[in-house]
Amino acid sequence: MTDVATYDGRIAIIGDCSGRDAHQTVDCTDMALAPGFIDVHSHSDELWLVDGRALGKICQGVTTEIGGNCGTSVAPLYGEARVRKARDARTYRLDVDWTTFDEFFGAVERSGVACNVASLVGLGTTRACISGASDRRLEREELDAQTQLVREAVEHGALGVSSGLIYEPSRYADLAELSACAAVAREAGAARYVSHVRDEGDGLIEAIDEALAIGRAADVAVRCSHHKAAGRRNWGKVHRTLATIDRARSRGADVAIDAYPYVASWTELATILPDAIRRGGEAATLERLRDPAIAASTAMLLQFARDPATGGDSWHDILITDTGSDRNAAFAGYRLDEVAAHWRLSPARAAIRLLVEEELRVDCAFFSMSEDDVAAVLTADFCCIGSDASARAFEGPTARGVPHPRTYGCFPRVFGRFVRGRQLFSTEEAVRRMTSLPAQLFGIANRGEISDGAWADLVVFDPRRIVDRATYERPFVPPEGLRDCFVNGTAVLRNGDYTGARPGRVLRGGQ
Ligand SMILES: [Zn+2]
């Protein structure tokens, strides 16, 4: 039996502590003691300010979150980026009173947060700062201004750049723009390009190739986010992309992925709209959808795209999780075909009506993946776990709608469903994918392992029992089998109860 002693936030002794005095002892007999889990793919961002308790993550054993994913970050906020963030924040009655990462991180430190936090800088956000919603290539001066924002963000502690190439306006960035930004991030000391790639469905293979090409052009590490093949006709493609990444790695490229253990993704309903409708920003999109002729032709295109005869997924595969206003809030938890039946409209027409009435603010879970693909991705030894969810509580302002269950169950589910259930890999391998691997892939220093002098981020769980309990129907349920959680040596969860402590630190540059 080995003892682990912590002092002043760090691990001080690993070995025999018998006969020594301790302020507090924790008996871990028959339990697993692991480094705290690192959630590399969080969208908490400003929610750290809304509810710093981060209960939904703490209950899973997450002690560090990396935000700023998918091209959107909480800073820098100029121009259109500021307008958008202010609108998002209004849902939570939060004042956006910061502009730079330095100011935002300072605000988080003042308000306090239960877990450690770090962030990438989103290239959709920096683009919106410079050229708003525009869908064109940037002028030379605009690109220079954008890279200057990237440089400043890295100097303030961002761990790298992220892109979200299905979102407005991140998707209008081409290989040259993305590479230029990633190269500047490298010069400033954060050589990481993290991407929600351009296409996770029909164009997945090409999209992964593009991410790898940006890594080569900018000479940076590449992290492909929430790796998956979406849509029935694309199932199985992950075997090809995993082989591509494997080959790149064997040639010396620093490429890795993250994933969550669910078959449903979770994003904006607006992502189903055709490119021509989404171009030019939200106001332009809404104006088009309000035009009856354009709405009718868009509905036809959508209906065709989801035609089972062409391998399309069914409308029943779309579950509404949240709406921007209260007007249609009662539809949260319902499938799109059910909303359509309620309104006596075709599903495509119902989707458009919902988008117009909610001014595009509709979030949905899309049941678009095969579990065999999810298993293949999780098994790759360069895959770490990322929830793709923000830190929400079980009550209060962040407990809106019917969030994707990964918000409250992602990490325990890996153990319950894929370690014990499908027996894909050992408990130790699962822990590695949540701790030392992500620390190494994202440059988080002195965390992710139990070693002399490392920060005392620790979790105690029962490997025979740990399992998620949150479901699509009832997400607000904590997992089972995870007993204690410590952040920087301070207990945030003891015997399954929250202590209310907020010992988290902002990890600028991973430190
Ligand atoms: Zn994403």
Across 87-116, average pLDDT: 96
pLDDT of 284? 93
Q: How far apart (Å, rounded) are the C-alpha atoms in residues 392 and 412?
A: 16
Q: At what angle do helices 282-289 and 292-305 cross, to 10 degrees?
A: 100
How far apart are the CA of 165 and the centre of ligand 1, in A?
A: 9
pLDDT at 324: 87
Cα–Cα distance for residue pair 419/429, rounded to 1 Å = 9
**pLDDT tens track for 364-379:** 999 999 999 999 999 9
CA 407 to ligand 1 centroid distance, Å: 14
pLDDT confidence of residue 493: 98
- Mean pLDDT, residues 38-48: 98
Mean pLDDT of all residues in 415-424:
97
User: Mean pLDDT, to the nearest integer, of 53-70?
Assistant: 98
What pLDDT score was predicted for residue 380?
Answer: 97
269 CA from centroid of ligand 1 (Å): 13
Centre of ligand 1 to C-alpha 508, Å, is 23
Q: What spacing in Å lies between the alpha carbon of 226 and ligand 1's midpoint?
A: 7
CB burial of 131-153 (b: ≥16 within 10 Å; e: otherwise) equals: bebbeeebeeebbebbbebbbbb
- Give the Å distance between the CA of 124 and the centre of ligand 1: 12
> Does the domain spanning 3-263+371-510 belong to CATH 3.40.640.10?
no
Question: Which pLDDT value is given to residue 313?
Answer: 79
Q: What is the mean pLDDT of residues 75-95?
A: 94
Give me the residue spans of the domains in the chain: 3-263+371-510, 268-367
Residue 196 pairs with which residues in a beta bridge?
Answer: 164
Least confident range from 127-136, 270-279, 303-312: namely 303-312
What's the gap in Å between 350 CA and the centre of ligand 1? 25
Q: What is the CA(263)–ligand 1 centre distance, in A?
A: 15
Residues 115-172 pLDDT 10s: 999 999 999 999 999 999 899 999 999 999 999 999 999 999 999 999 999 998 999 9
Please tell me the distance from the alpha carbon of residue 397 to that of residue 292, in angstroms, as a whole number.
36
Report CA dihedral (128, 164, 193, 375) to the nearest 10 degrees.
170
Taking the centre of ligand 1 as the mean of its atom positions, its distance from the CA of residue 195, in whole angstroms, is 8
Binning pLDDT at 50, 70 and 90, where does residue 193 land?
A: very high
Q: How far is the CA of 41 from the centre of ligand 1 (A)?
A: 9
pLDDT for residue 45 is more than 90: yes
- The closest alpha carbon to 273, from 387, 373, 127, 171, belongs to 171
What's the CA-to-centroid distance between 200 and ligand 1, angstroms?
10
CA angle 310, 314, 320 (to 5 degrees): 145
Rounded to the nearest angstrom, the distance between the alpha carbon of 366 and the centre of ligand 1 is 13
Model confidence, pTM: 0.95
- Measured in angstroms, how far is the CA atom of residue 197 from the centroid of ligand 1? 8
Cα of 318 to ligand 1 centre, how many Å?
17
For residue 344, how far is its CA from the centre of ligand 1 (angstroms)?
Answer: 32
**Crossing angle for the helix pair 140-155 and 123-131, to the nearest 10 degrees:** 130
Distance 44 CA to ligand 1 centre (A): 13
483 CA to centre of ligand 1 in angstroms: 30
Distance 167 CA to ligand 1 centre (A): 9
Q: Please, which pLDDT band fits residue 280 given cuts at 50, 70 and 90?
A: confident
Q: pLDDT tens digits, residue range 456-477?
A: 999 999 999 999 999 998 999 9
Measured in angstroms, how far is the CA atom of residue 395 from the centroid of ligand 1? 25
Per-residue pLDDT tens over the stretch 474-501: 999 999 999 999 999 999 999 999 999 9
Q: Find the 478 Cα to ligand 1 centroid distance in Å.
A: 24
**pLDDT confidence band for 431 (50 / 70 / 90):** very high
The mean of the pLDDT values for the chain is 96
Cα(369) to ligand 1 centroid in Å equals 15
How close is the Cα of 280 to the center of ligand 1, in Å?
A: 20
Decide: 449 and 10 in contact? Cβ < 8 Å: no
Task: State in Å: Cα 84 to ligand 1 middle.
Answer: 18
466 Cα–ligand 1 center, Å: 27
Percent of the chain with pLDDT over 70: 99
Q: How far is the CA of 446 from the centre of ligand 1 (A)?
A: 27
Note the pLDDT of residue 79. Answer: 96
Phi-psi group of 460: left, alpha or beta (phi > 0 → left; psi -120 to 50 → alpha; rest → beta):
beta
- Residue 93 Cα, ligand 1 centroid: separation in angstroms? 25
Check pLDDT > 70 for residue 310.
no
**196 CA from centroid of ligand 1 (Å):** 5
